[in-house]
């Protein structure tokens, strides 16, 4: 927001410099980005009129001008070819200084003395809109009949400073000059002299019978007000208005358009002027239909999308609501009747439309940040006042449609709480002084308890803490005493969950596995395949299609990393990730999703790290060894079981995959990728695993159980049985350990066989049983007896046959 200091001084009696005012605003929480002097450094440049013009006798491209500068007539030689008799132009007198450092002196050009210089906008460092069409590329031709001899800086409003505010989204009210004046008046304890319409709530115009207003989407447009004006006279706006517009960075066009821009800058309410004779029938505030078109005021043919809010008549869209009007209904030199629109549109709708069309304007900037819904009619009152002052038209009627207006908000403000929050005592008189300076109506409902009514233009104040912040701003942040934080000091350290995560990370990195970090947003199809579709959280506005949902499994991200490496001929990939997955609690989503920590890994290709076998292939057994190593370091034991989950069996190799249990609780799964999926990812036999990291941490133990080596010898027995294919070797192994009791020290599977000697649908499992006692030497008889008990039990329970 560019704030003209001259304009601001219309509302406040300010003698301070621009730098001082900027400091006051900044200390009050309104950051100033920069300060600009509109006078780029020229002096002794006045308005002159060309009274004589003839060719130079000694130079074909030069002309000799007689210029009346008020008190005298000067002879000036110039090379400009765009000047005419009676033109009024800026003249740099002898002794003048220009922005480029040039000092004007009397000079003789080809034998003719010249006493000054005619200036272009470039030489003065000003906007070309200050001149007529003939000014382009040449001397600045001033429109109308400006006073001769008047300082050009004063005439064009260049003896002014512009303070550019860096406004944050919570202060959209300061996009209006009257509210900047209110803000500064509060900080300097001065009541601003505002336009009468700045505080009025209702009009007193005759109601207009037509056009009728229909709001089809009241959730996107709360209010639509319109002022009807006849006997419109299109001409340039007065110099003072043009100067203020240019200071704010807006190009003057004509009196009607300039009034809309001026009132928007002054009151903060965007306006639009329609040529009333070009509107057909009702005014409809509705969403666009897919494929509708509109040529906007910038001459671009816009294709509209469904959901974009537009202003339409009976024939179709005539404006993009809150963004820009249409070319077909613009105000032109032939316009005699005008409809001034002053409406309230939902900021989110305007922001969405502006972004989709790639079109931003001063209007959309204000609607996006939030516009006062009570400001539509007062702004039209200011329009009517300026129309009368400029004799630009006659107001003949007013019409509006109101769907919703929020109630005035009342906030409770407690003196003791304010003092406690700010950290120093605030007296009751100081509190009342702040509320009076803010000009917020208030009353003391209880002792030291105030009920404050928040004006509609201050949409950033919602709760008591917002009002406490206002008290701090107005009193001054520098009044808050500097104190050191209290409390006892504690030594920083990692919590158990962080220590466990670091332990597992260091373990896996030490085993030669690379850690990766993948996006929490993944492709919907892959996440539904590996995760839980019923718990999925879809993004309303994803950055791209490949990141449409929050992940419910880590594996799609790891597969993507491995596939990308494989495609670039990095064929050996051993990676893991520890991260969160996100599970929705219900649909539609009303609460934040549940976050669960997972650890996942992937191995594909061969390794050159193993010193025993440099070309060892990553396979099912290699990954199982990694998982056993993790379990060993966590002081837990994994139990592996063939999966009956149909979804998992479709993703993993049916014969080289398993579910992982800790006790009776499922902790995860691992296995080779299903052969049908290998072509999809472009990899051969990748092996993956995924574990519930929180479950792993909950069952792990830091306690180490030490046992001394026994001095008594162990006895080993081998046991081979034939069972059906569906019988799990892990189940038989677990049962053997239970039956062996304290004397059975260890059981290992050392052979799995299928062949001619084994019936179809069966397999041979060979176990090595190690018996050991820490107290005595075992005898062959007791070991043989225990072995027979074990054999008979598994024959009965599993239908096993002893293979001798």
Phi and psi torsions of 276, nearest 5°: -60, -35
Burial class (CB in 10 A: 0-12, 13-18, 19+), 190: middle
Cα(256)–Cα(265) distance, integer angstroms: 15
Q: Which residues pair with 715 in a beta bridge?
A: 771
Annotated ligand binding at 298? The verdict is: no
Placement of tokens 């003395």 in the chain = 113
Q: Which residues pair with 37 in a beta bridge?
A: 161
Annotated ligand binding at 690? The verdict is: no
Q: Which residues pair with 538 in a beta bridge?
A: 549
Cα(45)–Cα(151) distance, integer angstroms: 6
Annotated ligand binding at 469? The verdict is: yes
Among 669, 571, 677, smallest CA distance to 620 is for: 669
Query: What separation in angstroms does the CA of 198 have from each of 379, 381, 493, 699, 798?
Result: 7, 9, 58, 68, 91
Cα(308)–Cα(550) distance, integer angstroms: 28
Contact 453, 417 (CB under 8 A): no
Annotated ligand binding at 231? The verdict is: no
Among 671, 641, 637, smallest CA distance to 657 is for: 671
Supply the DSSP string of 450-503, one letter for each residue. Answer: EEEEEPTT-TT--SHHHHHHHHHHHH-GGGSPP----S--------HHHHHHHH
Cα(324)–Cα(367) distance, integer angstroms: 12
Query: For residue 297, how many other CB atoms are within 10 A of its CB?
Result: 16
Q: What is residue 683's three-state secondary structure?
A: coil
Q: Quick one: CA dihedral 283, 287, 289, 293, positive or negative? A: positive
Q: Quote the radius of gyration of the chain (alpha carbons, Å).
A: 42
Q: How is residue 245 written in tokens? A: 């517009």
Burial class (CB in 10 A: 0-12, 13-18, 19+), 721: buried
Cα(415)–Cα(268) distance, integer angstroms: 33
Q: How is residue 456 written in tokens? A: 């509609």
Phi and psi torsions of 63, nearest 5°: -130, 150
Supply the DSSP string of 232-255, one letter for each residue. Answer: ----PPPHHHHHHHHHTT-----H
Cα(153)–Cα(158) distance, integer angstroms: 5
- In the chain, what's the furthest Cα-to-Cα distance? 139
Q: How is residue 188 written in tokens? A: 């300097």
Beta strands in 615-743 (DSSP E): 616-617, 639-641, 652-662, 665-673, 687-692, 715-724
- The contacts of residue 677 (CB under 8 Å, 6+ apart) are 651
Query: For residue 525, how many other CB atoms are within 10 A of its CB?
Result: 11
- The contacts of residue 150 (CB under 8 Å, 6+ apart) are 46, 47, 70
For 450-476, b/e burial (b = at least 16 CB within 10 A) is: bebebbbbbbbbeebeebbbbbbbbbe
Supply the DSSP string of 515-553, one letter for each residue. Answer: E----SEE-HHHHHHHS-GGG-EE-SS-SSGGG-EE-S-
Cα(221)–Cα(341) distance, integer angstroms: 13
Query: For residue 108, how many other CB atoms are within 10 A of its CB?
Result: 9
Contact 786, 743 (CB under 8 A): yes
The DSSP output letter for 62 is -
Binding site listing: 460, 466, 469-470
Binding site listing for Mg(2+): 460, 466, 469-470
């Amino acid at each position: 927001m560019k704030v003209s200091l001259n304009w601001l001084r219309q509302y406040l009696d300010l003698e301070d410099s621009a730098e001082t005012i900027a400091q006051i605003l900044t200390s009050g929480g309104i950051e100033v980005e920069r300060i600009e002097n509109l006078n780029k450094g020229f002096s002794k440049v006045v308005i002159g009129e060309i009274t004589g013009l003839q060719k130079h006798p000694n130079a074909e491209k030069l002309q000799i001008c007689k210029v009346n500068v008020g008190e005298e007539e000067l002879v000036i030689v110039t090379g400009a070819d765009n000047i005419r008799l009676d033109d009024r132009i800026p003249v740099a007198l002898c002794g003048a200084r220009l922005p480029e450092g040039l000092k004007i002196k009397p000079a003789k050009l080809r034998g003719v003395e010249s006493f000054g210089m005619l200036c272009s906008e470039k030489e003065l460092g000003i906007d070309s809109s200050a001149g007529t069409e003939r000014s382009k590329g040449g001397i600045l031709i001033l429109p109308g009949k400006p006073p001769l001899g008047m300082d050009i800086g004063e005439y064009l409003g260049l003896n002014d400073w512009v303070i550019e505010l860096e406004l944050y989204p919570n202060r959209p009210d300061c996009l209006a000059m009257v509210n900047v004046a209110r803000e500064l008046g509060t900080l300097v304890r001065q009541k601003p002299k505002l336009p009468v319409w700045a505080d009025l709530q209702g009009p007193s115009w005759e109601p207009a019978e037509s056009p009728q207003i229909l709001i089809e989407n009241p959730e996107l447009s709360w209010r639509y007000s319109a002022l009807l004006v006849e006997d419109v006279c299109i001409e340039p706006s007065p110099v003072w208005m043009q100067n203020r517009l240019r200071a704010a960075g807006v190009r003057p066009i004509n009196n009607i358009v300039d009034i809309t821009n001026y009132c928007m800058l002054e009151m903060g309410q965007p306006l639009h002027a329609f040529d009333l004779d070009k509107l057909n029938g009702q005014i409809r505030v509705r969403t666009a239909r897919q494929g509708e078109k509109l040529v906007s005021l910038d001459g671009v043919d816009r294709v509209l999308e469904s959901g974009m809010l537009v202003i339409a008549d009976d024939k179709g869209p005539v404006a993009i609501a809150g963004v820009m009007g249409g070319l077909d209904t613009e105000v032109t030199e032939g316009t005699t009747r005008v409809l001034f629109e002053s409406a309230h549109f939902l900021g989110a709708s305007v922001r969405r439309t502006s972004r989709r069309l790639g079109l931003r304007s001063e209007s959309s900037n204000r609607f996006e940040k939030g516009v006062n819904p009570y400001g539509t009619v007062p702004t039209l009152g200011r329009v009517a006042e300026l129309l009368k002052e400029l004799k630009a038209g006659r107001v003949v009627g007013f019409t509006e449609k109101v769907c919703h207006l929020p109630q005035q908000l009342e906030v409770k403000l407690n003196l003791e709480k304010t003092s406690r929050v700010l950290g120093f005592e605030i007296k009751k008189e100081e509190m009342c002084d702040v509320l009076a300076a803010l000009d917020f109506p208030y009353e003391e409902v209880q002792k030291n308890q105030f009920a404050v009514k928040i004006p509609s233009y201050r949409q950033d104040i919602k709760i008591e803490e917002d009002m406490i912040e206002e008290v701090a701003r107005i009193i001054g942040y520098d009044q808050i005493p500097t104190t050191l934080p209290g409390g006892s000091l504690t030594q920083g350290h990692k919590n158990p969950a962080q220590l466990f995560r670091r332990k597992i990370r260091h373990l896996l990195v030490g085993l030669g596995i690379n850690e990766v970090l993948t996006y929490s947003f993944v492709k919907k199809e892959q996440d539904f395949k590996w995760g839980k579709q019923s718990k999925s959280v879809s993004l309303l506005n994803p950055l791209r299609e490949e990141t449409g949902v929050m992940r419910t499994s880590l594996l799609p991200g790891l597969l993507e990393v491995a596939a990308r490496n494989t495609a670039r001929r990095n064929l050996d990939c051993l990676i893991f990730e520890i991260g969160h997955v996100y599970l929705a609690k219900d649909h539609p989503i009303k609460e934040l999703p549940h976050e669960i920590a997972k650890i996942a890994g992937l191995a594909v290709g061969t390794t050159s790290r193993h010193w025993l076998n440099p070309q060892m292939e990553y396979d099912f057994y290699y990954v199982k060894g990694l998982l056993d190593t993790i379990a060993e370091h966590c002081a837990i034991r994994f139990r592996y079981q063939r999966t009956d989950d149909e979804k998992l069996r479709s993703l993993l190799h049916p014969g080289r995959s398993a579910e992982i249990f800790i006790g009776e609780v499922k902790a995860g799964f691992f296995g080779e990728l299903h052969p049908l999926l290998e072509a999809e990812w472009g990899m051969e036999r990748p092996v993956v695993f995924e574990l519930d990291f929180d479950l792993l941490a909950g069952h792990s133990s830091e306690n180490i159980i030490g046992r001394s080596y026994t001095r008594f010898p162990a006895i080993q027995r081998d046991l081979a049985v034939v069972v059906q294919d569906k019988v799990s070797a892990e189940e038989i192994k677990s049962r053997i350990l239970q039956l062996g009791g304290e004397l059975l020290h260890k059981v290992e599977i050392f052979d799995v066989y299928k062949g001619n000697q084994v019936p179809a649908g069966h397999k041979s499992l060979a176990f090595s049983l190690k018996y050991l006692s820490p107290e005595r030497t075992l005898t062959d008889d007791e070991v043989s007896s225990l072995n027979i008990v074990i054999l008979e039990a598994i024959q009965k329970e599993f239908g096993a046959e002893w293979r001798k």
